Amino acid sequence: MKTSMILARFGVVGVLAGLGLACSEQASGPDSSSQRDASAASTDAETTDQMSAADSGVLEDAGFFPDADTAADTGVSQPDGSVMLDATSQSPDALPMDASTPPSDAVVDGGASNPDAGTSADASASFERITIDGQRAGASWTAVADMNGDGKLDVVVSSFGQIGLSVPAGEVHVLLQGADIRSWTAQPAVGAADGVKFPNLTTPVDIDGDGDLDLVVPGGFLVCTAIPFSPPCGTLGWWEAAPSGWVRHDIIAPGAELFYHHAEVVDFDGDGILDVVTVGEAKGSGFGGMDRAVTQWFKGTQGANRFESMPREVGNGLGSIPAVRDVDGDGDLDVLGAEFFVSGESFAWFERTSSQPLQFQKHVIDDASGPAIMLAWVPNLYGDGVQRALGTNHVNTAKNPPDPQAEAVIVLTPPADPRQHWTKSTISSGIQSVPGSRFAPQAAPGIFAYGDLDGDGDLDVVVSGDGDPRVLWLEQLPGMQWAQHVLEAQMPQAGGLNVVDLDGDGRAEIVLADYSGNAVYVYRRR
């Protein structure tokens, strides 16, 4: 999500253009799977945006957005915007998108024009948009947990600030839920003085075992080094909840070459102490250097800082929003994710082949969807007990030359041997990035979350278009069919993203960060 998002909005862009700096990019989108247990250590989130070699763009064109708006906003006009798709099964090598894919403007719901309501007239559910924080400059990622232990879920929002000719330090705030879902109070956690640029998806988890939730904060982005003479800004740390306030602990101090978007916090090596599993990424510069993505873990210790500062390697690959799960069902933890900086691959996983010592072997899930931004492991997507994964790629069919793969939300079903390529089916329709430019590349879709959005008992999906300025929700229908609805018609680079019952009334809300609008919203089903 944010990759394209971010780059495109820079003022920086103009500067880079002038210098002819080559920069491929992608950014990541925050994503989070909504079904996460809000209080659990295994937050799923994702983020990925990038400039990619494929984009091989350079940053430029500060005036991008007005153009983009025009390009993307036109298509509507199908009286019934719902598109039904058969997700049952397509073979991995038959990219399902072309012939059967309606043009992008066929997808937009006609009734979605009320910006304050997020309502789709033909949808089975409509949503009221509630602003829970209207002054969060560059709001980008959200995580949900009961941060103050009062029994009400709170929202942790990461914000990048106003990025212009330089990149300011970002901030993390805890939005505490008050008397009801309309009452929120913002409290600072990570401040500008902490110097964390691009604070990404946080993980609320009790690191020190004292009963309160601490925050793991990954940071940095390729934009830092896309600015001439600017140092890298990768970082990874955790903020300890203490009576006196937040106490910072660096794992990797700001300034690292590798940037981090999401940390899974689990006992990865089985010694009873929480570890951090993450992916560090770097964008090769025009001066040499390769795109990098390396899956790492930081071993937890009994020391005051709680983690080793020297990463241990799982292996090369994956991307900004990794998930630690038992993919092959053999009782040990593996790692899966989308890949953006890994040439020629889209989704992959690391199989744990030995626990003593820890060793892993990488397997490709799908290499035919182009660069991808997020992959989430969904235990029972279709109610049939089969474990599947939901993914989004991050490509652009509107640029010149276009990416060969269509922008898509994808369901991936593992075969009997999950080391083989998984079966792929596309459940979205007509998602299309704005063209962007060489200097301000765009791609779509972005991050997503899932949960039962319409209350009928099955899992639905909400996805940021990212380079497609819409936010869509995909309603699951019987028989592995999906209908697509527009939640927001004009909200490029939306982030967040959670589906969770915030107020405990049994109905799931959507939590979304509006990067362009500097706000955090909750969508409540009417």
Min CB(256)–Ca ion separation in Å: 25
Choices 11-19, 190-198, 318-326, 371-379 (CB under 5 A): range interacting with Ca ion = 318-326
User: Contact, 431 vs 370, CB < 8 A?
Assistant: no
| Residue 152-191 contact track with Ca ion, rule CB under 5 A, x = bound | x-x-------------------------------------
Helix (H, G, I), strand (E, B), or coil: what is residue 18?
Answer: helix
Token look-up 């300025």 returns 469
User: Contact, 10 vs 62, CB < 8 A?
Assistant: yes
| 261 DSSP assignment | E
- In this structure, the number of other CB atoms found within 10 A of the CB of residue 257 comes to 16
Binding flag, residue 334, Ca ion (CB under 5 A): yes
Binding flag, residue 362, Ca ion (CB under 5 A): no
Tell me which amino acid residue 181 is. Answer: I
Burial string for 188-201 (b: 16+ CB within 10 Å, else e) reads ebbeeebbbbbbbb
Min CB(121)–Ca ion separation in Å: 18
Cis peptide before 379 (omega within 30 of 0): no
Binding flag, residue 116, Ca ion (CB under 5 A): no
Binding flag, residue 509, Ca ion (CB under 5 A): no
Binding flag, residue 269, Ca ion (CB under 5 A): no
- In this structure, the number of other CB atoms found within 10 A of the CB of residue 339 comes to 29
For Ca ion, give the closer residue by CB, 224 or 323. Answer: 323
Q: Which of 102, 326, 383, 505 binds Ca ion (CB under 5 A)?
A: 326
Min CB(318)–Ca ion separation in Å: 15
Q: Which of 98, 116, 330, 384 binds Ca ion (CB under 5 A)?
A: 330
Q: Which of 122, 332, 367, 501 binds Ca ion (CB under 5 A)?
A: 332
Tell me which amino acid residue 28 is. Answer: S
Choices 8-16, 99-107, 202-210, 490-498 (CB under 5 A): range interacting with Ca ion = 202-210
Tell me which amino acid residue 103 is. Answer: P
Query: 238: which strand partners?
Result: 216, 249
Element (H, E) at 334: strand 334-338
Q: d(Cα 483, Cα 485) in Å, to the nearest integer?
A: 7
| Residue 453-472 contact track with Ca ion, rule CB under 5 A, x = bound | -x-x-x-x------------
Min CB(426)–Ca ion separation in Å: 19
Q: Which of 328, 367, 501, 503 binds Ca ion (CB under 5 A)?
A: 328
| 285 DSSP assignment | B
- Interface ranges with Ca ion (CB under 5 A): 146, 148, 150, 152, 154, 206, 208, 210, 212, 214, 326, 328, 330, 332, 334, 452, 454, 456, 458, 460
